[in-house]
């Protein structure tokens, strides 16, 4: 391992990649990015798409994504206000790995639910068996 060239390593708690890796795993951030895949969208539309997120939390999520360079925020001088959010090139580049992960999750739902049932049954038997 070449520590001079700072090899990024998610397992190192001091490596920025670990922080970034976990930011991607954020409850809302990755969902927002995937909604933005269909093009620019305004705040209220986004709220509807990402079902059940409070304005406060959505704002927090969007600010963080903006700060990290994943999205841009465009305020239109209108009344009532109109604000559009759009993926940057960086944000768009995240779509590919993120989509693969989403597809994996969607594909393996049955396997995981099955594993859970089997595990829970085994637990029950262990308890009954004493």
Q: How far is residue 27's CA from residue 130's CA, in Å, rounded to a whole number?
A: 39
In terms of CB distance, is 74 or 99 closer to DNA? 74
- Single out the segment in contact with a second copy by CB under 8 A; choices: 13-21, 39-47, 54-62, 79-87: 13-21
Sheet of 41-42: strand order equals 41-42, 82-87, 71-76
Binding residues for DNA restricted to 39-58, rule: CB under 7 A:
42-45, 52-57
> Residue 101: phi, psi to the nearest 5?
-65, -40
86 binds a second copy (CB under 8 A): no
C-alpha 7/C-alpha 91 separation (Å) is: 23
Distance (Å, whole) CA 33 – CA 20: 14
Binding-site member from 81, 101, 108, 115 for DNA (CB under 7 A): 81
Q: How many Å apart are CA 98 and CA 79, to the nearest integer?
A: 36
Residue 97 interacting entry, from a second copy, DNA, none, C-beta within 5 to 8 Å by type: a second copy
Task: Return residues touching a second copy (CB under 8 A).
Answer: 8-13, 16-17, 20-22, 24-27, 30-31, 34-35, 49-52, 66-69, 90, 93-94, 96-98, 100-109, 111-116, 118-120
């Amino acid at each position: 391992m070449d520590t001079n060239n700072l090899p990024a390593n998610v397992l190192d708690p001091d490596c920025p990649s670990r922080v970034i890796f976990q930011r991607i795993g954020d409850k809302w951030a990755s969902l927002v990015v995937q909604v933005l895949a269909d093009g620019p969208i305004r705040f209220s539309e986004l709220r509807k798409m990402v079902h059940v997120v409070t304005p406060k939390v959505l704002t927090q999520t969007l600010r963080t994504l903006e700060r990290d360079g994943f999205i841009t925020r465009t305020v239109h001088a209108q009344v009532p206000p109109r604000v559009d959010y759009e993926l940057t090139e960086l944000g768009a580049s995240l779509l590919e790995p993120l989509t693969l992960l989403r597809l994996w999750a969607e594909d393996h739902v049955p396997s995981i639910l099955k594993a859970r049932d089997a595990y829970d049954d085994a637990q029950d038997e262990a308890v009954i068996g004493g």
